[in-house]
A and B are shown apart, each in its own frame.
Chain A
């Protein structure tokens, strides 16, 4: 009774709880509920007329719960899905590695630039966001196509006589992915490096470390959390990327995002598509968990 009374007097509705509750409710409504729906569909039978299928039936006073796991078994058995997952991970990993290799020096020099120049450089990194993502990716078609800018230029200077086949290859896919995700690598790295105390580098030099040694022994380990954050920000969305493989990829660049699209809208097999989605989420959860664990450890330390 007391509990009910407390509930009715709304005393628990303190400001702090309301503030936390709003985003939580939003996340529950916009992410958790849809995910549960997807999860539910993934266990049902494919039915052309009703994509949602049925999980539970009531007939003759018996509730029948029919959990169909064949979708998952199918994914595990069908070579195409396994290959697509592996290929998605491969492209996401290559993209992450290239973004790191290109982004780290970029972020480093940005962080070491004069404080007056830094906002300008930061602005330049974010400038591409002012144009539509779709447009920017589409523009690569014009650059890489057989009669595109690159080929025309190379033919023009006489380096090649036949146009190079650049579009719809792994090459064009990776270029597009790296191009699109680079800012997501640079920004967390920059935020980390700009905070770094340069006295550590002086101390390293003082103790006999050459600038290169100081970089590998001090700068890189100290920017570990920036590297992890940037890599997660690139890797996680890159795994499920749909637009870039669709526009720049080719038959050899299997990616799970396109596969999903096909299952949903070409094959109309929602249960299977939902299973594919659930597996993608599981794949992403692993690096997320590692990242969270690392962050928790770091926060516990400081």
Chain B
């Protein structure tokens, strides 16, 4: 899905700061979110993502900074007057009210006419496929059903902005995968702009149009999932999203279209330029699935294919392997002593050239598949 960038962003957060007892939970965050986006705040616990979300909902007052929604500053607007609704972590469904009354709660506060409330609640129940469950109490529903009621309740008022706090955190793994798709389907059907908070990178990657990776109260990188994964801008992001091998070294050759990095594991040829100086310490980030593993030295043909982009090869021995069914993860100890991770998809049922422990292997990759991290 492509997002058209409007001149004025729909939700604009500028220099937002939140201090608790002098400690900055959110530290100078600025981000612009467009209409129709599903924007994920991703980070480990305590990174400030939940505080940021609570400031959007109005439960926390920023120490500094602005939040504008559709051109209006909302910082001083109390939560019950914001056109923003939130789906709470573990849902916070009112236990004494039926599913129907839970969904109608917000509509009643708006003083809508009775028949319109009824129509809207029915519409919401159908949207989340719980048409027959209106009379039940929340405790009579399964976790997945509760999650859908919570979604219906937060969408019933047709908010301009939907906030999701760990939307799938309370569900088990299998249910989570199915619910992810459903949730995105419903959000796109309604067309609401959405900001979600999650610590689960899979959830962020599969649901969001853009992700902001947060650490220690700051946003480190913002971008679409693919960009975050393939071109992380710093060690933290590279390491936090997925798994990565980092070769520490220094810049040996710095050309506009390529760089060569000297590391204890050898020279790395990388097909993109960097903003840096000769000799500065950098890290070459290589994802485990980008590395090919074989027992014989790469053939000339393989080398020729790769050398258009830059050919890099290291040697070592397999020290450990973990079989996951769809793929196998190998730990390879290089001759320099460094250990790298390499994953191989198990495309065929029987692998004649199966690798074994202690086997000596060549690990090689294409210079276009790696990123140089300067910070």
Q: Which residues of A contact B (CB under 8 A)?
A: 197, 199-200, 202-210, 213, 217-218, 221-222, 224, 301-302
**A-contact 0/1 string along B148-162, CB 8 Å cutoff:** 000001100100000
Interface contact B109-A206, CB-CB below 8 Å: no
- Residue pair B92, A207 in contact (C-beta under 8 Å): no
Instruction: Report yes or no: B96 in contact with A206, Cβ–Cβ below 8 A.
Output: no
Contact B96 A207 (CB under 8 A): no
- Closest A-B pairs by Cβ, 8 of them: A207-B106, A208-B109, A203-B92, A199-B92, A205-B79, A221-B96, A205-B80, A206-B86
A202 touches B79 (CB 8 A): yes
How far apart are the CA atoms of A200 and B57 in the complex, in Å? 14
Chain B 103-136 interface 0/1 with A at a Cβ cutoff of 8 Å (1 = within): 0011001100000000000000000000000000
**C-alpha spacing A208/B58, complex, angstroms:** 12
Is residue B139 contacting chain A, with contact meaning CB distance below 8 A? Answer: yes
Q: With a CB–CB cut-off of 8 A, which chain A residues contact B78? A: 205
A208-B88 CB under 8 A given contacts A203-B94, A222-B96, A301-B139 = no
A208's nearest neighbour on chain B, judged by CB, is B109
| In the complex, chain A residues whose CB is within 8 Å of the CB of B157 | 207-208
Cα(A32)–Cα(B80), bound, Å:
55
5 A-B pairs whose Cβ atoms sit less than 8 Å apart in the complex: A202-B59, A206-B86, A206-B88, A207-B157, A301-B139
Check B110 against A200 for contact (C-beta < 8 Å). no
Q: In the bound complex, how far is the Cα of B92 from the Cα of A217, in angstroms?
A: 14
For B92, what are the chain A residues with a Cβ–Cβ distance below 8 Å?
A: 197, 199-200, 202-203
Min CB distance A225 to B, Å, is 11
Q: Is B85 an interface residue (CB 8 A)?
A: yes
Bound state CA distance, A165 and B263, in angstroms?
Answer: 98
Chain A CB within 8 A of B95 CB: yes
Which of chain A's residues have a CB closer than 8 A to the CB of B105?
Answer: 204, 207, 209, 217
Residues of A within 8 A of B79 (CB): 202, 205-206
Evaluate contact between B80 and A206: CB separation under 8 angstroms: yes
Known pairs A199-B88, A202-B59, A302-B139; A208 contacts B96 (CB<8 A): no
Asked if residues A206 and B94 are in contact (CB atoms below 8 Å), the reply is no
| Given A199-B92, A208-B106, A224-B96, 20 new contacts (CB under 8 A) | A197-B92, A202-B92, A203-B86, A203-B92, A203-B93, A204-B94, A205-B58, A205-B59, A205-B80, A206-B79, A206-B80, A206-B85, A206-B86, A206-B154, A207-B80, A207-B105, A207-B157, A208-B81, A208-B110, A302-B139
B94 touches A200 (CB 8 A): yes
With both chains docked as a complex, state the minimum distance between the C-beta of A166 and any C-beta of chain B, in angstroms: 42
Task: For A207, give the chain B residue with the smallest CB separation.
Answer: B106
In the complex, what distance in Å separates the CA atom of A199 from the CA atom of B137? 18
User: How many Å lie between the Cα of A251 and that of B79 in the bound state?
Assistant: 56
Which of A203, A210, A213, A221 is the one whose CB lies under 8 Å from B88?
A203
Q: Which residues of A contact B154 (CB under 8 A)?
A: 206
Using Cβ atoms and an 8 Å threshold, which residues of chain A touch B96? 221-222, 224
Mark interface residues in B329-353 (1 if CB within 8 Å of A CB, else 0). 0000000000000000000000000
- Closest Cβ of chain A to B60, distance in Å, is 11
Please measure, in the bound complex, the distance between the C-alpha atom of A210 and the C-alpha atom of B157, giving whole angstroms. Answer: 16
User: Are A208's CB and B139's CB within 8 A?
Assistant: no
Give the secondary structure class of B's interface: mixed
Closest to A224 in B: B96
CB distance from B54 to the nearest CB of A (A): 8
Q: What is the chain A residue whose CB lies nearest that of B140? A: A301
B57, A209: Cβ atoms closer than 8 Å? no
CA distance A208 to B110 in the complex (A): 7
Report, as a range, how many residues of chain B touch the other chain: 20 to 34
Q: Which residues of B contact A206 (CB under 8 A)?
A: 57-58, 79-80, 84-86, 88, 154
Max chain B CB contacts within 10 Å: which of A203, A204, A207, A301?
A: A207
Within the complex, what minimum Cβ distance (angstroms) separates A216 from chain B? Answer: 12
CA distance A217 to B101 in the complex (A): 11
Contact B59 A222 (CB under 8 A): no
The answer to whether B139 touches A207 (Cβ under 8 A) is no
Name the B residues within 8 Å of A208 (CB-CB). 80-81, 106, 109-110, 157
Which residues of chain B come closer than 8 Å to A207, judged between CB atoms? Answer: 80, 85, 105-106, 109, 153, 157
Complex contacts, A217 vs chain B, CB 8 Å = 105
Chain B contacts of A202 at CB under 8 A? 57, 59, 79, 88, 92
- Docked Cα-Cα span, A197 to B93, in Å, equals 11
In the complex formed, the residue of B with least CB distance to A218 is B94
Q: Which residues of A contact B85 (CB under 8 A)?
A: 206-207
Q: List A contacts of B94 (CB < 8 A).
A: 200, 203-204, 218
Give the nearest-CB partner of A203 in chain B. Answer: B92
**B153 closest partner in A (C-beta):** A207
Task: Determine whether the beta carbon of A213 is less than 8 Å from that of B109.
Answer: yes
Taken together as a complex, chains A and B put the C-alpha atoms of A144 and B284 apart, in Å, by 86
List chain B residues, Cβ under 8 A from A210.
80
Q: Which residues of B contact A200 (CB under 8 A)?
A: 92, 94
Q: Decide if A209 touches B139 in the complex (CB within 8 Å).
A: no
A301 to B96, CA, bound (A): 11
Contacts of B139 on A, CB cut-off 8 Å?
A: 301-302
Whether B88 lies near A209 (C-beta < 8 A) is: no
List the B residue with the shortest CB-CB distance to A301.
B139
| Docked CA distance A225–B85 (Å) | 30
Tell which of A197, A206, A217, A302 has the most Cβ of chain B within 10 Å: A206
Which residues of the partner chain A approach B86 to less than 8 Å between Cβ atoms?
Answer: 203, 206
Q: Which of B95, B110, B139, B154 has the most CB of A within 10 A?
A: B95
Q: Hey, which chain A residues are within 8 Å of B153, CB to CB?
A: 207
What CA separation (Å) do A218 and B105 show in the bound complex? Answer: 11
> What is the minimal beta-carbon distance from B261 to any residue of chain A, in angstroms?
50
Of chain A, the residue at the smallest CB distance from B81 is A208
A239–B184 Cα distance when bound, in Å, is 60
- Assess the B109–A209 pair: CB atoms within 8 A: yes
Task: Give the complex CA separation of A197 and B154 in angstroms.
Answer: 19
Cβ A222 vs Cβ B95 within 8 A? yes
Q: Which B residues are CB-close (under 8 A) to A197?
A: 92
User: Which chain A residue has the least Cβ–Cβ distance from B101?
Assistant: A217
Contact with A along B52-95 (1 / 0, CB 8 A): 00000111000000000000000000111100111010001111
